Amino acid sequence: MTYQSDKITFIKCNNIQNKKTYIESIYNKIIISLRDKGMPRLMHEYCNPWTFDDIKTDGSIKHKGSLHIRIK
């Protein structure tokens, strides 16, 4: 789906080539980040390879590992 002023265009991504074309068309507009939203309060050891610890200035630690993708 793309927005053009007052118009919304839906793009059919029913095969691999259409999916690749769509991703290439929005690639320079996306922001990818890791967040702590939705992460478990108790972190298990098996989560460690997929997360990082964001240590705040007050010493608190936020475990970040939830993939977040936004379009500018």
Q: Determine the structural domain holding residue 45 and report its residue range.
A: 2-71
pLDDT in tens, the chain (72 residues): 555 556 777 888 999 999 999 899 888 999 999 999 888 888 888 888 889 999 999 999 888 999 999 988
State the greatest distance between any 2 C-alpha atoms of the chain, in Å, as a whole number. Answer: 49
The one-letter code for the residue type at 3 is Y
Question: For residue 43, what are the contacts with CB-CB under 8 A and spacing of at least 6?
Answer: 51, 63
Q: What is the pTM of this model?
A: 0.57
Contact 35, 66 (CB under 8 A): yes
Tell me how many domains the chain contains. Answer: 1
Instruction: Check residue 66 and give its pLDDT.
Output: 92
